[in-house]
Structure formats: C-alpha cells, structure tokens
C-alpha cells in the first residue's frame, strides 16, 4: 500500500493566489525553453525596435551569457521598470489581438527571463540620458544612470540559476550553441535589410560564428543575397524565385531545383508575415509540391515567405509563437503547391550546377606539374586542315571494334549557340548521348530523359481529357467512423474528376460506384481511409492524384527508350530539343538528374591546361 505524502494535506484543498515570482517562473517555462528561446525573444524585440544592426554574444551555449546589442529606438528610463512587468508591451494596445504587425506582443519575455536568470537592461532614447535596470531571480533594482551611445543592450547571465532543475534538461554547450545559431540565421533570413552578428566567447576566446551584413537593392535581390550567406552559394545558384498570389495570400521566396535535394529536411525555412514558423501544414504543402520530382528519401530545400492580412492568421497559438493557424488553410496549401510547381516548370530543363561539380570530383585528376608552354587552341581552319591531314587513306577499313561503341551523330557544322543542350555528337555504351554546347559538353542519360518526357506527356493528356472511370458491377459499401463520411462527401465532386465516384449510403457509410480505370483493381476501403487520414491531418487530400501519377510514372518508365538501344543522330538531337521544351526535364521521375553539363574550362582544368 502506498504511503501518504506528508506534504499533501488531506484537508479540503484551498485556492490561493500565486505570488508574482512563481507566476513569472511558470510563464518562463513556456516562453524560455532553452538559451535559443531567450535569444529569439531578445532579437525579435530588437527588430521591433527598428534596429539596423544587431549583435549577439553567447558563452557556453548561452547558459552563462547572452548579450544582445542593437541600435534601435531604445527604452526610456521611466519605462524600464514597466518593461519588466508581465503583460506590459508597446506593440499592441489590447483592443485587437488579431491585428498583429510585430514579432512580440505578449509582454512576457523580459519578466520571464528576469525570473530565471540575472538580467540587466541598458538603454538610451535619442535626446535623453542612458539608464540601466537589473533584475535577479525576479527581484528588480532601482533604475540608475548608465553610459551608452544609442540603442539597447540586454545582458542575461546564469540562465535558469533560479530554477536549477531546468539545467538538467539542457543539452551540451555545442548543441545549445547550434540552436542559437539556427535562431539567429532564421531571423536574419526574415530581415535581409538588417545586419546580424553572432559571437561565442566561451573559454575566454572570442569566435565569430555568423555574420550577415545588411543587404541593399530590391526585396528579391536582397533576399537572394541573404540566402547566399545563410544557406550557401550553391543554394543561391540552384534556386528559382517564387512570386504568386491567391485570395489575399502572397507567396515569395526561393525554392531549389529538385536535383539540388538534401538527405534530411534541414534546409526548409518557412515564414508567415516575416515570422519564422515550424508549421505542419506549410511543411506538408512543400513536400507535396515536390512529390512528383523527388524520391521518398530526398528532401527539398526552400525558403518560403507567406504574407497576408494579420487577421487571416492567428499567431497567438503558443507563447513561443512558432505555430500559426490560418483561417483558410486549404488556400495557403494550394498556393504553395501551385506556386512552387509553377516556378519549377519555369526552370524548364535546368538541372543543378552541383551535379557537374560532383562529376568532376569523381574524376579525381592526379596532381600535375606547373603548366608548361603549349600552343594556344588552333583556329577552326587550322583544325580542319589537321583533320584532313590525319584522315585515313581511301579504301582503309577499320577492322577492330572499340570497347565502348561510339555512334556518329549530327555533322560538326550544326550551330550550338542557340541550343542550351547543344548538338548531339555521339552515343556511348548505348545509353549516354554526348552533345557539344557552345562552351562545353552535355552527357544525357537517354532512358532517364525520355522517361520524364513521356511522363509529362501522359500527365498533360490526363489533365486535358480527364481520368477514365471504371464502374463497379456491385458498388462497394465502406463504413467509416465519426464524421469521416461527411468530410469525404464534401469533396465528392473533386474525387469524381479523378475517376473516384462515391455516394452517401446512410449513417457513416458511403458507396463507391466508380474507381480510376488506370489503377486496375483497387482496395476501395483502404483508399478512402487514406483520403480521410489526409483530410484530418492537412484539411485536403492528394491520395488519389498521387496514386494516379505513380501509375503514369510506371507506364512512362516502361514506355521510354530503354538502355542499350542504339540511336541515330537525328533521334538524339530530337531528344535534346524535346528536353529543352519540356518542363522538369532536368530530372527523371525519381529525382535523379537526366544530364550532366561540363564547361570547357572545367574540362581543361582536368588536363592541367588551366
């Protein structure tokens, strides 16, 4: 038998008002989960203050020191005590909690930080003297004069010293420091016209972790410049811009080409009205936009910004403000899927530049000695005379077969200046087409390329002619729990366009009368349950469309040019021209590249010519 805890009274429980210190510590548990949460709150305050430069300094992963310096509007000496009071804020007046135009608005961050750490605020308003206030474990000192040129310095030391149990749940200093860096980078992406610096002073040595100077130019140029700093040069080179609108929502940003994919979802950044968020709806929409181009083990890279009237989205879902609720979630999801797909289609046959780099790296040229003198590249006339002199004598017949068959293609005189994928010159190993461009060569995987071309044709035909439905001899009755049947019947018209016809059958049952003919024998009950799960999770479904596209992809794979088939020169050139005119032809149906382009200067470097 369990013993009674002596600290719990057996008398009737009494309701009592908690003191201010306990209230602040409870609130801190929601707002300040780790050092990165504290950095996020302080940097957002600096952005709201109109700062153009923000410097962040941490030590020991932010556990012993977090310092945020900005050049914003500052806080007046008379307002410093009020700034440390709960639910005191300059961001809103409390009359409209849906019309939020700032990062912060709850008025909980500073008092929460002061309740669990040693906090000091030094600030100066232009034209006034600087002032400082300190708070330790919830107890504040009097305001006193200080020296500061402009802006605000917020310094937080010994985080969680007042709640030592929380320290046991912190990760290593390295992991906490990486989380802080991720927060700063996300906020830097949201504000490209603000300069950011992150320093680490652990072990008495200062190290600059991240720096992004303020960008200039229009919004798209500034954003691309900031993404180049945060996400890397390769992402900036292989990303396409997005700019789409739908029913009051505006989508901008950059999405990477499918061939520039990642092994994990670590390069997906989403923003709503400039606020970094981690939203399941938006992540699902991004994944759905790429589902036709990537295999399941690859993940897209993107930075997407959704802007709308603040009244169309609720950011007050959680104190951390990283979750949002949209009034029209289906509209937002559709905007992201269509916006990303349209941008990728605009890229045409383009593939990522990283493929060429990986190809050159795989060749691993041996180190060469310093370049010795050699003649410059000959003129076309001299090259032609040389070919004539080296031509075999009349009647000469080649008696040996090469190890790798090379098929002659188009004549050398074909112009390549206006052809992005060049003119076909040869076919090797009965699978790879070699084409010459104006400044390099292109190697095409004939099967992968034709597979994508056939797949795109099949999709266009299905969109133009609709999906053929197959009537069931005996309708299949499916019993569904709760309101699943009602949700399905609400989208019955959309399902009918995809060849799936359902009707109400009373209670929680529906009757399946037709299924998409191309799917063959279908487990109707399992298909409907999959659709219901998607509706419950995302508010929309793509289960039927996904299955149809999977069948079309399989048909395209079996109907395309097979590896091992010998192609004539005109066939190879026709394949190249069709690739140039077909969207998404830079990758096959499984996300692999269909061609590799090598620039002439890279090839020359392999042979020590540069």
- Tell me which of 331, 346, 361 is where a domain ends: 346
**Inside any domain, residue 382:** no
Contact yes or no for 602/357 (Cβ under 8 A): no
Strand (E) or helix (H) holding 242? strand 239-246
Contact yes or no for 199/208 (Cβ under 8 A): yes
Backbone angles phi, psi at 171, to 5 degrees: -85, -170
**pLDDT at position 56:** 96
**Inside any domain, residue 567:** yes
Least confident of 88-92, 214-218, 384-388, 440-444: 384-388
Mean pLDDT in residue range 559-565: 69
**pLDDT at position 223:** 94
Between 323 and 248, where is the model more confident? 248
Domain interval for residue 586: 405-610
List, in order, residues 6 or more apart from 161 with CB less than 8 Å away. Answer: 116, 117, 118, 137
Alpha carbon distance 464, 487 (integer Å): 28
- Tell me which of 211, 230, 250 is where a domain ends: 211
* Tens digits of residue pLDDT in 135-194: 987 788 899 999 998 999 999 998 888 777 777 888 899 999 999 999 999 999 999 999
| 157, 240: one domain | no
Q: Is beta strand 53-59 parallel, antiparallel or unpaired with respect to 195-200?
A: parallel
**Inside any domain, residue 78:** yes
Mean pLDDT in residue range 228-245: 92
Residue 335 has pLDDT above 90, yes or no: yes
Contact yes or no for 318/324 (Cβ under 8 A): no
Between 274 and 407, where is the model more confident? 274
- Give the strand order in the sheet containing 239-246: 239-246, 249-256, 302-308, 268-272, 275-277
| 538, 583: one domain | yes
* Tens digits of residue pLDDT in 65-106: 999 999 998 988 888 888 887 766 665 545 555 656 566 555
Residue 520 has pLDDT above 80, yes or no: no
SS (H, E, C) 532-601: HHHHHHHCCCCHHHHHHHHHHHHHHHHHCCCCCCCCCHHHHHHHHHHHHHCCCCCECCCCCECEEEEEHH
- Tell me which of 298, 327, 346 is where a domain ends: 346
| 342, 482: one domain | no
Contact yes or no for 210/198 (Cβ under 8 A): yes
Determine how many CB atoms are found less than 10 A away from the CB of residue 71.
19
| 280, 320: one domain | yes
Closest by CA position to 227, among listed 200, 251, 191:
191
**Inside any domain, residue 374:** no
Residue 28 has pLDDT above 70, yes or no: no
Determine how many CB atoms are found less than 10 A away from the CB of residue 392.
8
Compute CA distances 353 → 29, 238, 561, whole Å.
46, 7, 26
| 183, 248: one domain | no
Beta bridge partners of 516: 469
Least confident of 277-286, 507-516, 556-565: 556-565
* Domain count along the chain: 3
**Inside any domain, residue 13:** no
pLDDT band at residue 349, thresholds of 50, 70 and 90? Answer: confident
**pLDDT at position 113:** 85
Total residue count of the chain as it appears in this document? 610
CATH number at residue 332: 3.30.230.10
| Opening angle at CA 126, ends 124 and 130, nearest 5 | 25
Q: Which two tokens stand for residue 466?
A: 């609709």
Q: Kindly report the pTM of this predicted structure.
A: 0.71
Q: Which two tokens stand for residue 568?
A: 């004539």
Q: Which two tokens stand for residue 367?
A: 């180190």
């Amino acid at each position: 038998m369990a013993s009674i805890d002596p600290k719990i009274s057996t008398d009737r429980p009494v309701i009592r008002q908690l003191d201010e210190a306990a209230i602040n510590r409870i609130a801190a548990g929601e707002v300040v989960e780790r050092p990165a949460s504290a950095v996020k709150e302080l940097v957002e305050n600096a952005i709201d203050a109109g700062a153009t430069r923000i410097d962040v300094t941490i030590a020991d992963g932010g556990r012993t020191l977090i310092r945020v310096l900005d050049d914003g509007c500052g806080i007046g000496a008379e307002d410093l005590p009020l700034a440390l009071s709960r639910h005191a804020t300059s961001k809103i007046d409390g009359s409209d909690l849906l019309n939020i135009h700032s990062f912060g608005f709850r008025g909980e961050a500073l008092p929460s930080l002061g309740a669990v750490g040693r906090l000091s605020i030094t600030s100066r308003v232009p034209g006034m003297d600087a002032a400082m206030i300190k708070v330790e474990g919830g107890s504040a000192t009097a305001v006193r004069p200080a020296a500061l040129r402009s802006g605000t310095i917020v310094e937080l030391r010994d985080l969680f010293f007042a709640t030592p149990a929380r320290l046991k749940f912190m990760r290593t200093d390295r992991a906490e420091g990486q989380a802080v860096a991720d927060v700063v980078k996300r906020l830097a992406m949201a504000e490209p016209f603000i300069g950011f610096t992150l320093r680490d002073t652990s072990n008495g040595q200062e190290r600059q972790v991240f720096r992004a100077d303020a960008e200039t130019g229009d919004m798209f140029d500034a954003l691309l410049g900031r993404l180049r700093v945060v996400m890397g040069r390769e992402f900036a080179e292989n990303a396409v811009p997005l700019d789409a609108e739908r029913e009051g929502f505006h989508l901008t940003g950059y999405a990477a080409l499918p061939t520039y994919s990642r092994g994990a979802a670590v390069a997906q950044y989403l923003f709503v009205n400039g606020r970094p968020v981690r939203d399941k709806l938006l992540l699902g929409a991004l994944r759905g936009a790429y589902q036709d181009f990537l295999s399941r083990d690859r993940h897209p890279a993107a930075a997407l910004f959704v802007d709308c009237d603040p009244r169309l989205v609720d950011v007050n879902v959680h104190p951390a403000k990283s979750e949002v609720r949209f009034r029209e979630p289906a509209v937002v999801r559709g905007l992201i899927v269509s916006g990303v797909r349209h941008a990728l289609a605009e890229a045409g046959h383009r593939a990522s530049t990283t493929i060429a780099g990986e190809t050159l790296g795989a060749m691993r040229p041996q180190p060469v000695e310093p370049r010795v003198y050699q003649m410059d590249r000959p003129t076309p006339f001299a090259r032609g005379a040389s070919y004539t002199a080296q031509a075999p004598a009349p009647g000469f017949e080649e008696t040996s077969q090469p190890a790798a068959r090379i098929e002659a293609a188009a004549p050398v005189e074909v112009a390549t200046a206006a052809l992005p994928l060049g003119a076909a010159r040869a076919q090797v190993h009965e699978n790879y087409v070699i084409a010459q461009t104006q400044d390099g060569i292109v190697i095409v995987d004939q099967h992968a390329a034709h597979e994508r071309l056939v797949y795109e044709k099949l999709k266009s035909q299905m969109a133009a002619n609709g999906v053929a439905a197959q009537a069931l001899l005996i309708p299949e009755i499916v019993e569904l729990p709760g309101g699943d049947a009602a949700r399905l019947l609400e989208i019955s018209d959309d399902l009918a366009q995809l060849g799936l016809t359902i009707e109400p059958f009373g209670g929680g049952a529906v009757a399946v009368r037709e299924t998409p003919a191309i799917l063959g024998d279908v487990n109707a009950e399992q298909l409907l349950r999959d659709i219901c799960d998607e509706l419950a999770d995302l508010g929309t479904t793509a289960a039927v469309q996904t299955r149809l596209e999977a069948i079309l992809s399989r048909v395209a794979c079996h109907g395309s040019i097979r590896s091992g088939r010998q192609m004539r020169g005109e066939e190879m050139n026709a394949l190249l021209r069709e690739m140039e005119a077909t969207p998404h032809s830079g990758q096959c149906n499984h996300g692999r590249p269909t061609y590799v382009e090598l620039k002439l200067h890279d090839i020359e470097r392999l042979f020590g010519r540069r």
